[in-house]
Amino acid sequence: MTKRKAAATKRSVSTATARATTVAPTPPSGGFDLKLLRDLARIANEYDLESIELTPDGGICISRVPAASARMFAAPASSPASLSLVPLGAATIAKAEPVKVADDSVVITSPFVGTFYRASGPDSPVFVEVGQSIRNGQVVCIVEAMKLMNEIEAEADGKLIEILVKNGEHVEYGQPLFRLEKQ
């Protein structure tokens, strides 16, 4: 997994994926700067970088792995020095954020793909606020789909502790909208 590249005008470090290469920069003295190498590799890993290039004139050039492929290639089990990648997630509309659900909290998810609204109209009061007690069957928001305003009801009792989407945001099926603390 660690290869030394032939002499080049640039010194570069690449992240470990299936194409892992880490090149030891060659300082003028001819020895290894191992600390620099470790720091560069850590930075590359932390920010999911495909490569860091240090140019001879002292500049730095970085490039990033596209999120989709970063998530796909699991580090091969047979390669002990492999670094694990932290997927940063693609910037998509209505991406469902994985929400950690504590034992006593419940998440209300969207049953449609559409647009989320906190009130029935621009001048109307919002249906619910953080801190409010919510009852099973109570309307908590609207998801508009194809010009139809669908009222979304809570399916449990609880205290609203978090609103997970913004007013007017597009939501997909199954996207978490509210977090309730069970009472």
Residue 68 contacts another protein per CB under 8 A: yes
Q: Which 69-128 residues touch another protein, going by CB under 8 A?
A: 71-72, 74, 92-96, 112-115
Residue with tokens 């009472």: 183
DSSP string, 129-143: -TT-EE-TT-EEEEE
Does 8 contact another protein by CB under 8 A?
no
Closest to another protein by CB, 24 vs 75, is: 75
Rounded CA gap, 43 and 64, in Å? 12
Q: How many residues bind another protein (CB under 8 A)?
A: 21
7 vs 91 by CB, closer to another protein: 91
Task: Return the closest-CA partner of residue 67 out of 43, 44, 50.
Answer: 50
Among 24, 119, 145, 161, the residue binding another protein under the rule CB under 8 A is 145
- Dihedral of the alpha carbons of 126, 92, 67, 73, in degrees to the nearest 10: 90
Residues found near another protein in the complex (CB under 8 A) = 68, 71-72, 74, 92-96, 112-115, 145-146, 170-175
